[in-house]
Amino acid sequence: MNEFLAMGGYAWYVWGSYGVTFALLALEVFFLTKRIRRAKASEATP
């Protein structure tokens, strides 16, 4: 397991890439969900 996480000494480069990518995709979904909720709310109360 530790060997897997170490990525042959390239842990920062590999996990830095994957971590930032999936964090950004999650953030996009989070902000989009918020925007949808806001749009729905303002539609309900014109």
Partner 1 sequence: MSAQSIKWFWFASPQTFFPLAGTLARWCGAAAALLAAAGLYIGFFVAPTDAQQGEAYRVIFIHVPAAWMSMLLYAVMAFWAALGLAFNTRLSAMMASALAPTGALFTFIALWTGSLWGKPTWGTYWVWDARLTSELILLFLYLGFMALQAAIDDPRRADRAGALLAIVGVVNIPIIYYSVKWWNTLHQGSSVSLKSAPTMAATMFTGMIVMALAFWLYSIAVTLLRVRCIIRERA
44 near partner 1, rule: CB under 8 A? no
DSSP the chain: -HHHHHGGGTHHHHHHHHHHHHHHHHHHHHHHHHHHHHHHHHHH--
Closest CA to 16 of 3, 5, 27: 5
1, 2, 26, 32: which one contacts partner 1 (CB under 8 A)? 32
Interface with partner 1, residue 43, by CB under 8 A: yes
> Which positions touch partner 1 (CB under 8 A)?
4, 7-10, 12-14, 16-18, 20-21, 24-25, 28-29, 32, 35-36, 39-40, 42-43
